[in-house]
Structure 1
Amino acid sequence: MFGPSPDNPTPLPGIDQLIFLKNFITRPDIEVGDFTYYDDEDDAAAFERRNVLYHYDFVGDKLIIGKFCSLAKDCTFLMNGANHTFTAFSTFPFAIFQNGWGDGDVMQLKSQSRGDTVVGNDVWIGMAATIMPGVTIGDGAIIGAHCVVAKDVAPYSIVVGNPAREVRKRFEADIVATLLKTKWWDWPIEKITRNLEAITNGDLDGMRNAV
C-alpha cells in the first residue's frame, strides 16, 4: 500500500468535504499538484468558482499550487483581474464596457498585472486567509488564519496578520536548505511511503539518506 490515489476526488471514505483539489479543476490557467487538498463542508467542489476570484481569461495570469498543500475553508486567491489602474485620473475600467467607452482593449488592465500567483509544495494555508495577486509562497510555509498575504513568503516561514508578517522560521537555516534540496514531495510515492517516519518525525539524517 502506498497511500491514497491522488486521482481519488474524495480520499476519506464517507467524507466529501475534503477533496483532492486537482480533480475538480477545469480551467487551464489553474494548476494544482497531487495530494493537495481543500476542506470545506459547504461546497468544497466549488473551489474554482468560490475561492479563486477576479480570474479573467483576458488578463492571462495563472494560479499554480504545488503538491501536498493543505487548504482550509474559505481561503481565497484574488487574481490580477481585481487590480485597477491608479495612475489615471479614474480607477474605473471604462474600456472593458465598450459601447463608446473603448474598444474592449484591456492592455491598461494587463499593465497592472503582478504576474502569476504561485504556492509552493507542502504549504498550509489557514482558514479565511486571502492571497493577493502575484504573490509567491515558498515551499513548507504556513499561512495563518485570516491572513492577508500581500507580498512573497519565504520557504518554511510562518506568517500571520493583516498585512501578513513573518513571525518566525519553522526550522534553522541548515534544515531548510536540506529540505529544499531533497524536495521530498517530488519523490516517487513508494519512496515517500518508505520514508514517512523520517518526514513526519523530523529525522534530518533519515531525509538525507532516504532511498
Structure 2
Amino acid sequence: MTGPNPREAYPIPGNKNVQFINNTITKPGIIIGDYSYYDALNGESFEEQVLYHYEMLGTKLIIGKFCSIAPETRFIMSGGNHRMDGSTYPFNLFGNGWEAHTPTLEQLPLKGDTVVGNDVWIGRRATIMPGVRIGDGAIIGAEAVVVKDVPPYTIIGGNPAKEIRKRYDPNIIQELLEIRWWDADIELINRFMGAIVSGDMEMLRQMKNEGF
C-alpha cells in the first residue's frame, strides 16, 4: 500500500472536483498541509472560497494535514472587515476625493491569521470567520458559522456555532494531541491506518513508540 501521490492536484482519476489543496494554491498567504482536500461542486478551486484575502493586510490562512473540506465551505478573511470607530461605509473605495479617507491598517479591525489544525472535518457550506483557530481533530457541522476558536476534538454546529460535544474524554484528547499521527512518515501511517481510522488507542500508542 502506497496511498495517493500528495503532489497530485486531482488524486482520484477522472474526478476534477476532489483536489489536494496545496497543489492548487497560487497565493502566498494560503498555506496547506499534505493530503488536505477540498471537494468542489463544479471544479472550482479552493482559492475561490477564500474571500476578502488581500495580500497587503499580511494575514494568512493556514490549514494542517489530512483535513476534509466539504463543498461551498467559505473562509472570510480580515479584508472583509470595515472600519467601525465611526461610519462603517468604505468611502475611500469610490475615489473622486474620497480616497483621502483611506483607513490605515491600525484603524481596521484585523483579526490575524485563520488557522485550522490537522485531521479537521468541515461540513458543507460552513463559514469560517476571520482570525478563528480550529483545533486538531475538530468537526464543523454543515452550514455552521464559526465565529470563535474551536478546541481540539470538539464537534460544533449552528449559527453562531456552538459546542455540541467532545469527541473523546479529555485524557484521550490529550494523548491524541501528543501522538500527532499526522506527523508520521506516510509509510508508518499506511501500516497503522486501521488504528487511525478506528481510534484504536493501544495501536496508536504503539505507532508513537515506533519512533516519530
- Number of residue-to-residue matches in the alignment: 208
Note the aligned Cα RMSD (angstroms): 1.5
Distance 1:110 1:63, change over 3 A: farther
**One-letter code aligned to 2:78:** N
Q: Kindly tell me: are residues 110 and 47 of structure 1, through their superposed partners in 2, closer, same or farther at Cα, counting changes over 3 Å?
A: farther
Q: 1:128 matched to which residue of 2?
A: 125
**What is aligned with 1:204?**
201
Aligned to 2:139: 142
CA distance in 2, matches of 1:10, 1:102: 43
CA deviation string 1:160-194 (max 9, x = no partner): 10000001000111111111001111111111111
1:176 paired residue number? 173
Write the letter of the residue equivalent to 2:13.
P
Check if 1:115 corresponds to 2:112.
Answer: yes
Instruction: Give the unaligned 5+ runs of structure 1.
Output: none
| Percent of aligned positions that are identical | 52
Inter-partner Cα distance in structure 2 for 1:161 and 1:167? 9
1:12-161 residue pairs with structure 2 within 5 A?
A: 12-44=12-44, 46-49=45-48, 51-88=49-86, 90-103=87-100, 105-108=102-105, 111-161=108-158
8 Å Cα contact 1:17-1:40 kept in structure 2: yes
| Separation in structure 1 between the aligned mates of residue 121 and residue 10 of structure 2, nearest angstrom | 19
State the Cα deviation string for residues 16-74 of structure 1 (Å, max 9, x = none). 11111111100000011100011123124x2212x011111222211111110000000
- Tell me the TM-score normalised to structure 2 length: 0.93
Q: Which runs of 5+ in 2 are unaligned?
A: none
CA 1:206 to 1:170, structure 2 compared with 1: closer, same or farther past 3 Å?
same
Task: Please give the TM-score of this superposition, normalised by the length of structure 1.
Answer: 0.93
Distance change (3 Å), C-alpha of 1:12 and 1:204: same
